[in-house]
């Protein structure tokens, strides 16, 4: 079998043999000018629903670019149903959280306002484009959904049944994370990380009282919010997520 194309693109259109995909201006610019692709270059495409397909670049005008789908690469597969609830932090670190959470296989990103959140707004559109780019590079078959920022209390008030909420309890009230995760059943879950200043005492008390909350601790050192997000997500995937599988596509290794 041929090696998969190096370029990889998320598209919204449906994918099937012979389908024609007119690209948006930014994607066309990215392919032709940033990545310096040419007509005939092969690209892998995915849309989160129809698996991954091989496609070919067909120039159709001065700036317009269309991809033509030529062959299937991978069928759509079930991915972990893991949400991340996080308090918005300043720009470089929130971008980082979205990039890393996407690589680590989160299915939805929910920015939540807490009492000590310093930021006052979130650019969900920018976060969504960071998530798309990270999904393209990490060989995911989906892009995590970036929800609109809401008050944490509102999100928790209509919490779905059957989804345990792993709360990073920096107050020392949680169980060691590996122990707590190894006892959680398989299925949907969510991770909640507070802002740099931590949760307020009243928030922590309310969180600990929730029937679906699983307070956990990340050891004796104080972690920044972004470090805590990554560490908790990595533990979730390693201990109860999909890290028991092998890589879907082996990276191409020249035999040197």
Give the binding site for its own copies (CB under 8 A): 96, 100, 103-105, 115, 137-140, 170-172, 176-179, 198, 200-202, 204, 217-224, 227, 230-232, 234-235, 237-239, 241-251, 253-256
What's the min distance (Å) between Cβ of 208 and its own copies? 13
Query: Of 161 and 186, which has the nearer Cβ to its own copies?
Result: 186
Quote the least distance from Cβ 201 to its own copies, whole Å: 5
Closest separation between CB of residue 91 and its own copies, Å? Answer: 14
Q: Which is nearer to its own copies, 28 or 73 (CB)?
A: 73
Please name which of 69, 67, 68 lies closest in space to residue 24, comparing C-alpha atoms: 67
Given a contact cutoff of 8 angstroms between Cβ atoms, the answer to whether 97 and 120 are in contact is no
**Residues 105, 50: Cα–Cα separation, whole Å:** 18
E strand intervals along the chain: 7-10, 20-22, 42-46, 52-59, 65-74, 82-86, 108-113, 145-146, 150-151, 165-168, 175-176, 189-193, 213-217
Closest CA to 181 of 220, 214, 136, 156: 214
CA angle 112, 239, 242 (to 5 degrees): 80
Rounded to the nearest whole angstrom, what is the least distance from the CB of residue 58 to its own copies in the complex?
Answer: 28
- Closer residue to its own copies, CB minimum distance, 184 or 238: 238
Closer residue to its own copies (CB): 28 or 99: 99
Residue whose CB is less far from its own copies, 211 or 246: 246
Nearest approach in angstroms of CB 168 to its own copies is 11
- Structure tokens, 232: 């908790």
Return the CA Rg of the chain: 20
């Amino acid at each position: 079998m041929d090696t998969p194309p190096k370029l990889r693109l998320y598209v919204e259109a449906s994918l099937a043999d012979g389908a024609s995909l007119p690209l948006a201006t930014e994607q066309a610019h990215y392919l032709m000018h940033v990545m310096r692709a040419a007509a005939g270059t092969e690209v892998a495409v995915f849309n989160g629903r129809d698996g991954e397909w091989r496609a070919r670049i067909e120039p159709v005008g001065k700036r317009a670019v269309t991809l033509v789908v030529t062959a299937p690469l991978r069928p759509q597969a079930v991915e972990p149903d893991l949400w991340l609830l996080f308090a918005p932090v300043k720009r470089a670190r929130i971008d980082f959280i979205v990039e890393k959470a996407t690589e680590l296989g989160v299915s939805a990103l929910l920015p939540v306002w807490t009492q000590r959140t310093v930021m006052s707004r979130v650019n969900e559109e920018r976060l969504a484009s960071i998530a798309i780019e990270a999904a393209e590079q990490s060989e995911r078959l989906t892009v995590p959904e970036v929800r609109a920022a809401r008050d944490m209390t509102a999100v928790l008030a209509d919490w779905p049944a059957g989804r345990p909420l792993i709360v990073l309890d920096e107050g020392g009230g949680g169980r060691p994370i590996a122990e707590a995760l190894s006892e959680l059943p398989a299925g949907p879950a969510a991770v909640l990380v507070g802002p740099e200043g931590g949760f307020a005492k009243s928030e922590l008390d309310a969180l600990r009282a929730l029937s679906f909350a699983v307070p956990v601790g990340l050891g004796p050192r104080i972690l920044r919010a972004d470090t805590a997000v990554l560490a908790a997500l990595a533990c979730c995937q390693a201990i109860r997520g999909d890290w028991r599988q092998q890589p879907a596509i082996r990276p191409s290794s020249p035999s040197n």
